[in-house]
A and B are shown apart, each in its own frame.
Chain A
Amino acid sequence: MRKHSEEYLTGNLTAMIDVVFQLIIFFVCTVNMQDKAIDDSIRLAMAPHGEPVVRKDPLEINLDVDARGQVSLNRDPYSRDELANMLKKVVQEHPGQPIPVIIRGDAATKHEAIQKAMDACVKAGIWKIKFAAFKERR
């Protein structure tokens, strides 16, 4: 008579776990793509007494003004009129809602470049503007 042997079915989980970790890495790498729209080369001025930013408004628009005075939005350079038209469109799309505009100006940039960004906001009907600065550098 043949020997009766009983064996458990065991699935090889290694490959599945590998794939799960690969997926985690993928999501970790891709989740913060929105931040890449901000120009990291801009050296903001220090404002140690300001309130720390804890919440991000989904409507907020970040205007970058680099040390050379170039105004850009999502890393695309804009002239004053182009920027004003673009901001006007945003204001029209969200009637009655305040559009928070944050100017991320390099500490070394001249005020004339900041003025360009501010004038575009005023043309679009945005009077309240925020300046981004570093509260703490780590």
Chain B
Amino acid sequence: MARKHKKIEHHPGELNLTAMIDVAFQLLNFFIITTHPVDVLTHLDVFRPSPDLHAPRLTQAPPVIRIEIFPDSMLLNAQPVNRQRLVDFLAAQASLDTRKTILIQCSQKSTHGQLVDVLDQCTRLKLSNISVISST
């Protein structure tokens, strides 16, 4: 008697994706909630000079642009100056030589924002030789 061969049906394995999609949406939510735009930072380089006791005394003061910052005013080479005139002067100096030494003297009560503003203008004009000192 001939045997009847029953066809064996092959069912492809099924993967339940529901939970995976749930978690994927959880992740999406997490990233949407936690992602925030990052502020772009900049670093302004300065030198902090210190009195060198071994350095020979100069007979003539080196040519420097001296800026003094006070809480409500500024001096440029000992002359009162407003911000616009200071920027114009620095631009004129930068057009001649960007390696000029700039000495910024901050008074104790001036704000850090004022100093950063002057440093930012120097950076814009590619003036890089900047020293910051503090008045006592």
User: Which residues does A use to contact B, with CB under 8 Å?
Assistant: 3-6, 8, 10, 12-14, 17-18, 21, 24-25, 28, 44-53, 65, 102, 105-115, 118, 121-122, 126-138
Contacts and interface: CB of A to CB of B under 8 A. Distances in A.
Interface stretch (B10-18, B53-61, B77-85, B94-102): B10-18
A106 B44 contact: no
A107 B116 contact: yes
Given A14-B20, A52-B42, A128-B47, A107 B111 contact: yes
Interface of B: 6, 8, 10-11, 13-16, 19-20, 23-24, 26-27, 30, 37-50, 69, 106-113, 115-117, 119-121, 123-124, 132, 134
Given A49-B123, A121-B48, A107 B134 contact: no
Chain A interface secondary structure, helix, strand, loop or mixed?
A: mixed
B112 A14 contact: no
B50 A110 contact: no
A5 B9 CA distance: 9
A4 B7 CA distance: 10
A115 B39 contact: no
Given A3-B6, A10-B15, A129-B47, 15 more contacts: A6-B10, A8-B13, A21-B26, A25-B30, A44-B116, A53-B40, A107-B113, A108-B111, A110-B109, A111-B108, A118-B48, A127-B48, A128-B45, A134-B41, A138-B39
